[in-house]
Structure 1
Amino acid sequence: MQTVVITDWQQFMALTMQLEGWAFRGQQNEAWRLESSLSRYMRDYVLDRSQWRVREERAIRIFRRKAHNFLAHPDLLKDDLRCLALMQHHGAPTRLLDFTKSPFVAAFFALERATGDAAVFALNTPALWNNRAVPKANPTLTRDMIDPRVQDNFDRYYFSNRHEIVWFGEPTEMDDRLVAQSGTFVVPGVIDKSLQAILDGYESNEELLHKIVLPERIRVDAMKWLYRMNITNASLLPGLDGLARSIAVELEIVWPGLMPSP
């Protein structure tokens, strides 16, 4: 994985312009591993890894049995990817990793609550899309073959936790949050390895993962740029929750000459 520590916000903009078509993920601590919320939760609270598969299956089963009480269209729970996307949207640990096609959205989520050096990870989705990167252990597992939107593919390639593969994409129907964030999901085939470790097992002539470290000192300038671009929680998280969360940034973004007299 290529790692770059940028010196200023302009360098970030110039660097990401070279990554046309890639997907991005922001993390507020540059030391954090690139892994799903489910992987982190299991590692911290379920020490017996032989239990991970059955625990994940049970969690999804419980969600499906109860979530219909709150949904206008409960049929969407039958689709594995849409069900996991819904769980992720509402805070449940899942194997999905949130990515975005916008490096600026990723930078916002990295920096918004950062108190030290943050990071944006960039994934070479064009190489994965065109099968220029395939798993060494089984190069026949192309992107189309492992598509989790295909019936039974989640059971075959993901819930079994036997295939060290990566797929990216969106459900056939996207919710408002995914649209607002230019979002996409990365779906790992195993949950006991980081995304970087899985990609290390891929055959490719291209770099598949970049890590861009955002030093703490650039945060103020970067957040002002993002505010000017209307990248805030109010725009990225449609609804009252997003608006309320966006007020935190309003506390710190103040333009000279616009503050009322005491």
Structure 2
Amino acid sequence: MQTTVLTDWQQFMALTTQLDGWAFRGQQNAQWHLESSLTRYMRDYVGDRLQWRQREERAIRVFRRKAHNFLAHPDLLKDDLRCLALMQHHGAPTRLLDFTKSPFVAAFFALERAIGDAAVYALNTPALWNSRALPKANPTLTRDVIDPRAHDNFERYFFSNTNEILWSGEPTEMDDRLVAQSGTFVVPGVIDKPLQAILEGYESHEELLHKIVLPERIRMDAMKWLYRMNITNASLFPGLDGLARSIAVELEIVWSGMVVPVAGSPN
């Protein structure tokens, strides 16, 4: 994995232009591994890794048994990828990793609450899509073969937790948040290894993963650029919750020449 430590925000814009078609994920701490919320939760609270597979299966089973009470169309729970996407959307730990096709959306998620160096990971999804990168252990497991949207494929290739593979893509039907964020998912075949380790088992003549470190000193410049591009919580999370979350940035973004209202003014 190649790592680039940025000197300024303009370098980020130039670099990501070269990564056309790749997928991006922002993380607010540059030291964090590239791993799912499920992996982090299991590592912190379930010490016996031999139980991880059964714990994941039980969590999904519990969600399916109860979530229908809150859904207008409960049939979507029968689709494994859509069920996991729904769990992820509402805050449950899952094996899905949120990525986006926009490097700027990824940068926002990396920087919004960062208090030190943050990072954006760029994944060469075109190589994975076009079979230019294949698992050395079993090169027959192409993206089309393991597609978790196909019937029984999640059970066969992912829930078994034995295949060191990655799949990237979206459910057949996308919710409003996924659309607003230009979102996509990366689905690992094992939950006890970070994505970097899984990709080490892939054969490819191309770079598959690039880590871009965003130093703390460039955060304010970057956040102002993103604000101008209308990349805020209000635009990324449609609804009142997104608007309320976006107010935090309003507390820190101050433009030069801004008029400070006097006491009692409507502003």
- For Structure 1 versus Structure 2, the TM-score category normalised by the shorter chain is over 0.9
Secondary structure of 2:185 counterpart: strand
CA displacement, residues 134-184 of structure 1 (integer Å, 9 cap, x when unaligned): 000000001000000000000000000000000000000000000000000
How far apart are the structure 2 equivalents of 1:79 and 1:182? 21
How far apart are the structure 1 equivalents of 2:191 and 2:53? 9
How far apart are the structure 1 equivalents of 2:241 and 2:77? 24
How far apart are the structure 1 equivalents of 2:256 and 2:5? 30
Instruction: Note the 1:1-262 alignment, pairs <5 A.
Output: 1-262=1-262
How far apart are the structure 2 equivalents of 1:50 and 1:120? 31
Q: How many residue pairs get matched?
A: 262
Secondary structure of 1:251 counterpart: helix
How far apart are the structure 1 equivalents of 2:207 and 2:112? 28
How far apart are the structure 1 equivalents of 2:109 and 2:44? 23
Residue 258 (structure 1) shift: 2.8
* Aligned residue identity for 2:209: L
Residue 21 (structure 1) shift: 0.2
Secondary structure of 1:75 counterpart: helix
How far apart are the structure 2 equivalents of 1:79 and 1:125? 23
CA displacement, residues 16-57 of structure 1 (integer Å, 9 cap, x when unaligned): 000000000000000000000000000111111111111000
How far apart are the structure 2 equivalents of 1:178 and 1:68? 21
How far apart are the structure 1 equivalents of 2:208 and 2:198? 11
How far apart are the structure 1 equivalents of 2:48 and 2:251? 44
How far apart are the structure 1 equivalents of 2:258 and 2:194? 46
How far apart are the structure 1 equivalents of 2:229 and 2:120? 18
Residue 254 (structure 1) shift: 1.9
* Aligned residue identity for 1:2: Q
Secondary structure of 1:144 counterpart: helix
* Aligned residue identity for 1:39: T
How far apart are the structure 2 equivalents of 1:108 and 1:178? 15
Quick one: percent identity of the two aligned structures?
A: 86
The ranges of structure 1 where at least 4 consecutive aligned residues each deviate by more than 2 angstroms after the TM superposition are 256-262
Residue 265 of structure 2 corresponds to which residue in structure 1? none
* Aligned residue identity for 1:64: R
* TM-score, normalising length: structure 2: 0.97
How far apart are the structure 2 equivalents of 1:250 and 1:70? 34
CA displacement, residues 184-238 of structure 1 (integer Å, 9 cap, x when unaligned): 0000000000000000000000010000000000000000000000000000011
RMSD between superposed Cα atoms in Å = 0.6
**Which sections of structure 1, spanning at least 5 residues, go unmatched?**
none
How far apart are the structure 1 equivalents of 2:205 and 2:165? 17
